[in-house]
Amino acid sequence: MEVSDPMIADRGPPLKEAPAPRGPGDEATMRDETGESVDVAVIGGGISGLAAAHRLREIAPELSVAVLEAGPRAGGVLGTTRRDGYLVEGSADSFITNVPWAIDLCRRLGLGDRLIATDPDRRRSFVVRKGSLEPIPDGLVIMAPSKIGPMVRTRILSIPGKLRLALERVLPRGDGSDESLASFARRRFGREAYDRLIQPLVGGMYTGDPERLSVKAAMPRFLEMEQKHGSLIKAMRAAGRAEGPKAEGSGARYGLFAGLEGGMSELVEALVDRVSVRAGAKVDRLERDGDGWRLIVDGEPLSARSVIVATPPKAAAGLLRDLDGEAAGLIAGIPSTSSAIVSLGYRRDRIDHPLDGFGFVVPFAEDRKILSGSFSSVKFAGRAPEGSVLIRVFMGGAKRPELVDADDADLVRIASSELASLLGARGEPELAVVSRWRGAMPQYEVGHLDRIATIADRVAAIPGLEVAGNWLGGVGVPMCIKAGEEAAARVAARRAAAAGMA
């Protein structure tokens, strides 16, 4: 069994520099390459920063844009490792398609024919119940069931738990104010449904504690359903009647997810091919300079007319501290969780479980050391060699943050032991890749939307400055792209307005 160096596992594709664009921006781009001046500096080369730079190139090609990435490569947490016939994602392996931003960007980048859907025959997931994997009831989307039969038949809930869940149809709606996801779910469906179904599904998505997460910020759709229909069950059944029988599956609506044939690094590589990225370029300071900005990048000055800060909250707060202490303090106060992902490859005949789904989640009540597991090579084709399977195990998060600091061998031992218990995995895996992400998942705690509104107002008052990132309005890949593209549109609109007034 091989255990990878996490830095190697997370490195992803080699960084590529885009050729300078031709036309009105040539002179400014030449100044960019000498480190003197650019029209727009994008601080942070994760998916939000790359999307912002690419959108600027689409809508304002005359502007010179530099992406400044402190790390050794662009892409942030997105990265794909290929080894011994396995294709291993360092973090996200797909994105949801019922919002347009990711799939539209892929198509504009010429990746439309590289998009792949999840296996339609296995679109379900499991939850651990007393050490066994039980199917999550068909039609349950996180916390809202659209079908009564599967909820009646499930072995996950006791009879009293099912009766309490059924009462949701007649309970009064809340007042619409913000509350924790845990409070909302228990209020609507009862403690058992929360502990055994809703908590592991929500916790698996945010690697966080639903007792602290805001329902209004993290999952506003469910609050809206309650306010409109008085019941989530009624709302889901109404939506099902309107849509028809097309959204099957359990836990998450897996038919609405897409990946890329060669992994998420294809998206990163396509973006890096089209924008100017400087890897290993740490911005130490950001300050006003007349009508523009002065950045100190690894001790060297760089001038910019506009700046987009697309970094994690801690780094963003540090850059804004001298510009607006209140905004910086609010950003710094956004908590984040850390996680580790252990990707294990096994020969198929070494796994007893039929793997007839996409993965499983683990309730806190089970007191295990892992959060969830994803059957990567079942979910998407081409992730494992013939006769083998690839399973990703997620650890850490809000409840067990100390596991992120364990060494690789310990993490692999824990993950393989858990799979032996839950799936009947025998022997050592033939491949193990460990990825760690410290402080990568922002937590939308109660009051998050008010915090973000105040930050947005204060940043808007600083000319030529924008912020983007997963701490603003959504943690998934599409929402990160949206944040970056919207920041780019605001920059371009201001530049066009200023040119029109000149």
pLDDT in tens, 445-455: 999 999 999 99
User: Backbone phi, then psi, for 256, in 5-degree steps?
Assistant: -95, 10
Per CATH, domain 137-246 is 1.10.3110.10: yes
- The residues with which 344 forms a beta bridge, in sequence order, are 391, 432
**Average pLDDT, stretch 424-450?**
96
Residues 15, 116, 482, 88: is their CA dihedral positive or negative? negative
pLDDT in tens, 58-68: 999 999 999 99
**Neighbour-count burial of 423, counting CB atoms closer than 10 A to its CB (0-12 exposed, 13-18 middle, 19+ buried):** buried
| Contact indicator for 145, 233 with CB cutoff of 8 Å | yes
d(C-alpha 502, C-alpha 491), whole Å: 17
**Average pLDDT, stretch 115-128?**
92
Orientation of helix 232-243 relative to helix 220-229, angle to 10°: 90
Is the predicted pLDDT of residue 1 greater than 60, yes or no? no
The helix/strand count (H/E) of the chain reads as 19, 21
Is the predicted pLDDT of residue 366 greater than 80, yes or no? yes
Q: Residue 290 has what pLDDT?
A: 92
Is the predicted pLDDT of residue 164 greater than 50, yes or no? yes
Q: Residue 460 has what pLDDT?
A: 96
d(C-alpha 91, C-alpha 394), whole Å: 10
pLDDT in tens, 312-326: 999 999 999 999 999
d(C-alpha 80, C-alpha 1), whole Å: 20
Is the predicted pLDDT of residue 238 greater than 90, yes or no? no
**Neighbour-count burial of 482, counting CB atoms closer than 10 A to its CB (0-12 exposed, 13-18 middle, 19+ buried):** buried
| Contact indicator for 222, 228 with CB cutoff of 8 Å | no
Is the predicted pLDDT of residue 360 greater than 80, yes or no? yes
Band the pLDDT of 502: cuts 50, 70, 90.
Answer: low
Q: Residue 242 has what pLDDT?
A: 56
CA 268 to chain centre: 15
Band the pLDDT of 20: cuts 50, 70, 90.
Answer: very low
Query: How far, CA to CA in Å, does 404 sit from each of 12, 206, 370?
Result: 20, 16, 11
Band the pLDDT of 473: cuts 50, 70, 90.
Answer: confident
Task: For 247-262, give the secondary structure using H, E and C.
Answer: CCCCECCHHHEEEECC
Is the predicted pLDDT of residue 339 greater than 90, yes or no? yes
Q: Residue 500 has what pLDDT?
A: 75
The whole-chain average pLDDT of the chain stands at 90
* Stretch among 27-36, 40-49, 346-355 having the lowest mean pLDDT: 27-36
**Average pLDDT, stretch 219-239?**
93
What is the Cα gyration radius of the chain? 23
d(C-alpha 319, C-alpha 309), whole Å: 8
DSSP letter string, 341-410: EEEEEEEGGG--S---SSEEE--GGG--S-SEEEEHHHHSTTSS-TTEEEEEEEEETTT-GGGGGS-HHH
Orientation of helix 477-501 relative to helix 47-59, angle to 10°: 40
Q: Do 12-76+264-334+445-501 and 137-246 fold alike per CATH? A: no
pLDDT in tens, 48-85: 999 999 999 999 999 999 999 999 999 999 999 999 99
Band the pLDDT of 30: cuts 50, 70, 90.
Answer: very low
Q: Which of 179, 247, 174 has the alpha carbon at shortest distance from 218?
A: 179
Torsion of CA 302, 305, 306, 309, to 10 degrees: 10
* Stretch among 145-154, 373-382, 417-426, 485-494 having the lowest mean pLDDT: 145-154
Is the predicted pLDDT of residue 301 greater than 80, yes or no? yes
Band the pLDDT of 498: cuts 50, 70, 90.
Answer: confident
Residue whose entry in the numeric block shows the structure tokens 């069994």: 1
Q: Residue 318 has what pLDDT?
A: 97
Q: Which of 430, 433, 391 has the alpha carbon at shortest distance from 412?
A: 433
Q: Which of 331, 437, 445 has the alpha carbon at shortest distance from 392?
A: 437
Residue whose entry in the numeric block shows the structure tokens 């009947």: 424
Torsion of CA 272, 71, 323, 465, to 10 degrees: 10
**Neighbour-count burial of 33, counting CB atoms closer than 10 A to its CB (0-12 exposed, 13-18 middle, 19+ buried):** middle
Is the predicted pLDDT of residue 380 greater than 80, yes or no? yes
- The residues with which 358 forms a beta bridge, in sequence order, are none
Is the predicted pLDDT of residue 16 greater than 70, yes or no? no
The CATH code of domain 12-76+264-334+445-501 reads: 3.50.50.60
Q: Residue 243 has what pLDDT?
A: 54
pLDDT in tens, 207-224: 989 999 999 999 999 999
Q: Residue 255 has what pLDDT?
A: 60
Is the predicted pLDDT of residue 246 greater than 80, yes or no? no
Provide the strand spans (E) within 29-143.
37-43, 65-69, 80-83, 86-89, 95-96, 115-117, 126-129, 132-135, 140-141
**Average pLDDT, stretch 91-118?**
95
pLDDT in tens, 458-472: 999 999 999 999 999
* Stretch among 5-14, 262-271, 293-302, 409-418 having the lowest mean pLDDT: 5-14
Is the predicted pLDDT of residue 25 greater than 50, yes or no? no
Count other Cβ atoms within 10 Å, centred on residue 468: 31
d(C-alpha 390, C-alpha 377), whole Å: 5
Q: Which of 183, 191, 176, 188 has the alpha carbon at shortest distance from 236?
A: 188
Q: Residue 501 has what pLDDT?
A: 65
| Contact indicator for 115, 260 with CB cutoff of 8 Å | yes
DSSP letter string, 87-106: EEESS---EESSSSHHHHHH
Q: Residue 18 has what pLDDT?
A: 35
Domain ranges in the chain are 12-76+264-334+445-501, 137-246
Is the predicted pLDDT of residue 401 greater than 90, yes or no? yes
**Average pLDDT, stretch 412-420?**
98
